[in-house]
Structure 1
Amino acid sequence: MSHVPHTLAEEFPQFAARISELKQQGGHFATLAERYYEVNREVHGAESGLTPMEGLAEADLRKKRAALKDEIYALLTADAEGVEG
């Protein structure tokens, strides 16, 4: 279990510039990114003991973070494929 926050740029370093660009544009990606950061902060708080939380609630937050990360990755890779192809 890591006690370090997982930023999107750290999770997807190959897309760091694109993440920043899409967040600045607003829209669906920016909304997903903000939700990811909110959930990520909650997970980090639980993992570090700053926010007391039951194990099942923490596990649910981790699942939510993973689902958001999957959706964000899908958007990043779909966009990259559209640019390349």
Structure 2
Amino acid sequence: MFSNVIFEFKMHRLLKKIARQRVTMILQPGNVPVIERAVDHDEVTKTLILTAQIRGWVEILHESMPTGQIDAKGEINPSQPFQSRED
């Protein structure tokens, strides 16, 4: 029973993080959105997002989006802006 309470608490925290995300710009070519305050991409988060999707609370807008990181100065590497694709 206690594990269910912890899971629901994590779900609530994730939904609050998702609600804070916002698109700051669209990169060209490919119309790739730059998302500010993006959520982590670990296994626990993937499980929570899938659960929220099953419950109808979130919708996956794009599959296999390219992902990358910005440096400490807030700049993107122009030669290689994306390191991977998010499944």
Give the TM-score, by structure 2 length: 0.30
Q: Compare the two structures and name the one with the higher strand fraction.
A: 2
Q: Compare the two structures and name the one with the higher helix fraction.
A: 1
Give the TM-score, by structure 1 length: 0.31
